[in-house]
Structure 1
């Protein structure tokens, strides 16, 4: 609830349209891999808060990924860009690859840039949330759930 309120305020401050409340039936499901990447508190906030999702989307859209970073990612992660034929032959980037073993950079460039922009947006969201929560004072006994600085943040009332 705190993250939702903070996100609503941030949306208002940024001139973003604050989305309407959602009914419990329309709560967004968050994939398990995203929960692992985001952490349970942020994943729960994104699942239940349209304002948090709007803010995250805005932060992602603001990110600029330099071409050098995209190319560097492609070069350092060749295992992700092996062609199906190369995979069937058992080619690994550790044993050396031929140019025809890799999907061409131009074909995967946009997907890489999108992935890096998404990661940078999440990082910006985490930074925003840490800073926004810094000014929140909880009533004694209500520091949790949701406050990772509290030793019992997973406790449920």
Structure 2
């Protein structure tokens, strides 16, 4: 139940059909456990999509086009590492999630001191090609000539910070938005500690 409205099990089933199982269990009890967790995981992806649809409507954002779950986009390992598999797949699967994240990104105001501070603290990310070729240690005695000029990379840094802050704002929003969700038996969060087979590797 999201906001007092039921989210249909058919949406979860459709996502499960579109995303192949990652587990290769053969023992019946292990396979049953893996499938229970997969259903709980898919429920979370659907819930994130539903919450994002509602948030887009509340913000007056254009309604996203419907996308068949069978067309779930590829998800990179970096996205999974950064966001967790639930949010990474929701981002690939849901136009509403992408639209809401874009709205969060547009709202981020990155002040100049934050950009400069990031540049000054991360010279390892801005070594010149020559410094890289010579094997300059970015954590040692770096010369100014070893580092790309601030003006040359400023926009890139601001863009990366804006993206990172938007993702954090999205995750904070999601934590708050999920607080009122109620799950049917068998569809609880895969990390719910009240279940003996809970896990945190999602």
**TM-score for the superposition, normalised by structure 2:** 0.70
**C-alpha deviations, 1:20-55, integer Å up to 9, x for none?**
111346433221111100001111111111101100
Structure 2: gaps spanning 5 or more residues: 1-45
Residue number in structure 1 paired with 2:175: 130
Counting only pairs closer than 5 Å after superposition, residues 34-45 of structure 1 correspond to structure 2 as 34-45=79-90
Report the counterpart of residue 61 of structure 1 in structure 2: 106
Whether 1:95 aligns to 2:147 is: no
Q: Give the aligned CA root-mean-square deviation in angstroms.
A: 1.6
Q: Which residue of 1 aligns with 2:125?
A: 80
Larger Rg: 2
Residue equivalent to 1:10: 55
Q: Deviation digits for residues 2-26 of structure 1, max 9, x if unmatched? A: 1111100000000101211113464
Aligned residues: 152
Aligned to 1:113: 158
TM-score (norm 1): 0.89
Q: Partners in 2 of 1:31 and 1:90 — Cα distance?
A: 29
1:19 touches 1:51 (CA, 8 Å); kept in 2? Answer: yes
TM superposition shift of 1:59? 0.5
SS of 1:134's equivalent? Answer: helix
1:66 shift after superposition: 1.0
